[in-house]
Chain A
Amino acid sequence: MNEEPRIGVYICHCGVNIAGSVNIKEVVEYAKNLPNVIEARDYIFMCSAPGQEIIKEGIKKCNLNRVVVAACSPTMHEHTFRNVLAEAGINPYLLEMVNIREQCSWVHSDNKEAATTKAKLLIRMAVAKASLLEPLKEITFKVNKNVLVIGGGVAGLSAARDLAAKGFKVYLIERKPVIGGNTARLGRLAHAEIKGIDLVGELSRQVLSSPNIHIYVDTELANVDGSVGDFKIKLVKNPRYVNEKCNLCGECVKVCPVDVPNEYEFGVSSRKAIYLPFREAYPPIYVVDSENCTRCFECVKVCPMNAINLAEKTEEIELTVGAIIIAAGHEPYEPPIGEFGYGVSSRVITLFQLERMLDEAGPTKGELKLDGREPKNIVFITCVGSLNTTPNAYPYCSRMCCSSTIKNALMIREKYPEANIYILHRDIRTYSRGDEQLYLKAGESLIRFARYREAPNVIVNPDGSINVRFFEETIQEEVFLPADLVVLSVGMKPPKDIDKVRTIVKVGCGPEGFLREAHLKLRPVEAATDGVYLAGTVTGPKNVIESIESGSAAASKASTLLTKEEVRVEPLIAVVDEERCSGCSICIGVCPYGAIRLKTQEKARVAEVDPALCKGCGACAASCPTGAMQQFGFKDAQLKSQVLAALTK
């Protein structure tokens, strides 16, 4: 672009967010005198409709060809203002954002003079760069209409169901041998007459009835290449050692010599090395747990269907999809041995173990008997693993445990009207619709609530009896409770393998490992990476209904992408100045995506960038010895102009 730069600078007050710390008037005056600046204006909210009009008006009236907006972080509104430029008829990439809110007014509100000076410098840097900006053309990709859903819990099932109903082809992968996730292991759900397994059953039926859904169990994500609209997926399907000929006769189980705790019953019961995770499991095929299998081949010998093959190998599967939904769920917090007596006494159990025991179809047939006797004194302790209750605990609230605790306490009350039931808590957080009523009902049902601040002390006596001692905050007294059963209301934590999945898909996470949303408030089911969506507890604790809703919401967002024929991506990719390129090939070795190759041009060999493969990291540009390799939007000259402007006294 050879025309003289004509820059408009628009400075946002952001209410008092910026104007409270930065002297806007002074900054506007300063901006007016910067090189190439034709006009500088301010407004209370530049992102609002009237604010956007001011910019458009400026572009038209002053015949501007570059725009600098000094407001919030570009992650917030670069997109908004690019659209404004496009609507005003100039190339959207002739915009430079200045972050005078997150990186200026908010962090320097204690020093208004310094904040004002810094805002000026930041604007000067942006104006310098803006003078060197070039119009860019967006790259378009065709959108593949398939979608990958990672995780077969209720969130993943909900997302898969909705996308299939909308007509997209869905690949649902689950690393466990069975779909249903954590919900399948829950007993009766709060406010519902159905059990977790029935809900999973219903969702599975809906999912399985669609010809658009392909389910891969025992399958993990191995690699993702490509980008939004066109992801190349590699999956690894681990051997199950039992094929679909299995008729669930159970002969194999009878002969299997191995006995291990059943993780699907949270260890309340045991299972064999060949097993069906639970009744009504999908797929209805036995599975061999290769870690514990002794390779005695007894099962192989007795199987009437010849369905077992212990020599089965892992299998690689390749797919192409346009979008990815991560619904990898959570794991319950597992208290370390000794925390609240867990693992020391069999009378200390987790809420999930209790759920299994209270389930009529569970290992104890719904009976809560310990050494053959019904428990008389039951003490629930909430916030185990949450709110920093113990040194091992997480800082956050797990959201569903309060209601879940009360629901279970009420179920015990129904079964054992004479039992003394205590719930020791820090705050009862029954926030969700109908949960407060559950809390009221618990009070009416003589379930006693006591408040602690310091973690209660669970004392396991030599005779096996248990006492719980804690300081009750309301009555300000030390309380000493005998307990036949202590139930630890454990919270949620991110699933074990989530780091592997998120590094493959390139999604960030928070300090505890839950995945990070593109925006916590308004983009809760989108990842910052285009074409990747997040559903269920993988972003943080949620109850069952909320997880299903977020699955649908993620499906909705994915559908907004998949209904498009093509997607546009930022053209901030590498570009070669063929005149300067010496064909040294250093850039080829540096590029992580294999996006650069040599081509012969008028007898000389020069580098060439494949725009479909280049992701725009700029590593090649940084390594180019001649300066021939550059990155659009981040050219050497543009970045150096910022350095220079920052340092001019």
Chain B
Amino acid sequence: MSKPVLVIGGGIAGIQASLDLADQGVKVYLVEKLPSIGGKMARLDKTFPTLDCASCILTPKMVSVARHPNIELLTYSEVVEVKGSAGDFHVKVLKKPRYVDEDKCIGCGECITKCPSKVPDEFNMGMSQRKAIYFLFPQAVPLKATIDREHCLYFTKNICRVCERFCPTKAINFEQKPETIELKVASIIIATGYELLDPRIAPTYGYGKYPNVYTSLEFERLVSSTGPTGGEIMRRSDNKHPRSIAFIQCVCSRDVKINPNCSAFCCMASVKHAILAKEHLPEVDCTIFYMDLRAFGKGYQEFYNRAMREFGIKFIRAKPAKIEEDPETKDLIITYEDTFTGAKKTMRTEMVVLAVGVKPVYPEVIPLTIGEDGYVHLKNPHIEPVATTMDGVYVVGVAAGAKDIPDSVIQAGSAAIKASILAGGVVHE
């Protein structure tokens, strides 16, 4: 018999690593801190360069994870302690209370319809509202409701309990307590992904100050049919379709003062955004401001060429100096240096989308060595590409360096085989 493996993080990298391991007959504990797996990819509308819809390729994998007999899915949970060494790690996982009995909840959503408390929906980057009892998103896995204690009227004001009354299976349990689960695993795969940096640290771009300046992830939700506007691209200021959109690359990345790293996927994401904008609003004028257009993956250059030739997207090589708002129209005025003439130029646009850099997220309880670039230090990237300096601990996906989906999937596979070797198990002759 093989020993189990712990996978931390339920984004595409963690999902893929878990499935690869489970399909090799290895028992997997997949720990995800949010109420659903899916990670950042679940928030994407389409993926470059094929424009495959992200849900269509991701959600079936999520379903496979949930149904796999070798995978124990621990959502809304966090790793709080790791002891031991390769082959024999002792791990404690804290399962946060959903205040909903997962075994009883049938995901009917009756409680959500009835809940009176509305809060900004973090899945839609706060651009829409959800209830205090909620699904992270409609295709969440597992499809179990979660009560957000901070906004629940019962927890804050000791009133309401409407959800309890309407739940057809009596799944609501306000008394639920955090639960600590102890695991013994042979290996750990860290697939904890990333967060976008807060573009307010580059105040010249006016994010947070001007309503029509968006982050790339906000725009992703905005064009998504499951997003806050049902896929309508509308400005925050007036709910009107923009007639022009400017996409600005390398915000909080490739910037020695803030973050010198390249985020690897933003160039193509912005090209995709511009194409999607054109598909939604054929008349819209799209401009991409870039330093180097990094179309390096398979089919990427061809995608970039199509953006220029077929969709008429304009590319300007410049890093804008600042963005200001016309207070009357809420349009935005971008000041940039024309690299051709060196002259200061301005451009008026009705919407700005910032391709914001990323920073990795790590579980605090694992004593990883962090490199100068802010990413986990690897033992010997050429010989054992995904191995950290801790034996038996592997890191994949954006947590191992910014990368796109296929490269995350490849790394997930490569960590899976390493962990699978450590987990052991019999191969018959």
Contact = CB atoms under 8 A, between A and B. Distances in A.
Chain A in direct contact with chain B (Cβ < 8 angstroms): yes
Nearest to A162: B417
A144 to B, nearest CB: 11
Interface stretch (B153-161, B164-172, B200-208, B257-265): B257-265
A15 B53 contact: yes
A145 interface: yes
Interface stretch (B76-84, B92-100, B211-219, B224-232): B224-232
B8 to A, nearest CB: 18
Interface in A430-447: 430-437, 440
B45 interface: yes
Interface string B283-300: 000000000111111111
A520 B373 contact: no
Contacts of B225: 13, 15-17, 19-20, 44
B326 interface: no
A431 B340 contact: no
Contacts of A539: 298
A556 B416 contact: yes
A168 B428 CA distance: 9
B138 to A, nearest CB: 7
A546 interface: yes
A493 to B, nearest CB: 14
Contacts of B141: 49
A524 B426 CA distance: 27
B24 interface: yes
Given A48-B55, A52-B63, A552-B414, A167 B381 contact: no
A522 B299 contact: no
Given A50-B107, A521-B47, A553 B382 contact: no
Interface stretch (B328-336, B361-369, B399-407): B399-407
A52 B60 CA distance: 10
Nearest to B106: A53
A610 interface: no
A428 interface: yes
Contacts of B297: 397, 399, 540
A165 interface: yes
Contact of A521 (B24, B52, B138): B52
Contacts of A514: 298
A12 to B, nearest CB: 9
A173 to B, nearest CB: 21
A50 B143 contact: yes
B143 A565 contact: no
A14 B53 contact: yes
A433 B375 contact: yes
Given A16-B231, A553-B412, A49 B417 contact: no
A72 interface: yes
Contacts of B428: 145, 565
Contacts of A555: 417
Contacts of B45: 15
A395 interface: yes
A15 B52 contact: no
Interface in A44-64: 44-45, 47-52
Contact of A428 (B23, B292, B425): B292
Contact of B413 (A80, A192, A554): A554
A77 interface: yes
A389 to B, nearest CB: 11
A166 B382 contact: no
B39 to A, nearest CB: 13
A61 to B, nearest CB: 15
Contact of A436 (B63, B262, B375): B262
A449 B56 CA distance: 42
B244 interface: no
A97 B185 CA distance: 41
Interface residues of A, number: 83
B175 interface: no
Interface string A548-569: 1111111111011011010000
Interface string B239-273: 00000000000000010100011101000000000
B63 A49 contact: yes
A474 interface: yes
A198 to B, nearest CB: 9
B55 A546 contact: no
A189 B382 contact: yes
Contacts of B261: 433, 436
A396 B407 CA distance: 17
Given A44-B225, A49-B141, A397-B301, A437 B373 contact: yes
Interface string A514-556: 1000011111110000000000000111001110111111111
Contacts of A387: 301
Interface in A254-294: none
Contacts of B254: 436
B30 interface: no
A194 interface: yes
Nearest to B425: A563
B124 interface: no
B187 interface: no
Given A396-B298, A556-B417, A557-B413, A199 B382 contact: yes
Contacts of A454: none
Contact of A544 (B60, B143, B302, B382): B382
A203 interface: yes
Contacts of A167: 426-427
B418 interface: yes
Contacts of A436: 254, 260-262
A202 interface: yes
A529 to B, nearest CB: 18
Contacts of B307: none
A47 B339 CA distance: 48
Contacts of A19: 225
Given A397-B296, A521-B52, A549-B414, A50 B427 contact: no
B312 interface: no
Given A521-B406, A549-B385, A556 B420 contact: yes
B66 interface: yes
A314 to B, nearest CB: 31
Nearest to B261: A436
B56 A76 contact: yes
Contact of A191 (B256, B293, B381): B381
A473 interface: yes
A234 interface: no
Contacts of B401: 432-434
Given A553-B417, A560-B24, A49 B62 contact: yes
Given A521-B409, A553-B414, A556-B416, 7 more contacts: A15-B224, A47-B63, A427-B294, A545-B382, A548-B382, A553-B412, A553-B416
Interface of A: 13-17, 19-20, 44-45, 47-52, 72, 76-77, 80, 145, 162-163, 165-168, 189, 191-192, 194, 199, 202-203, 387, 395-397, 399, 427-437, 440, 473-474, 476, 510, 514, 519-525, 539-541, 544-546, 548-557, 559-560, 562-563, 565
27 contacts: A14-B56, A15-B45, A15-B231, A16-B231, A47-B55, A48-B59, A48-B62, A48-B139, A49-B59, A52-B63, A80-B63, A162-B418, A189-B382, A192-B382, A199-B382, A202-B383, A430-B262, A435-B262, A473-B317, A510-B298, A520-B406, A521-B52, A548-B414, A549-B411, A552-B417, A557-B20, A559-B24
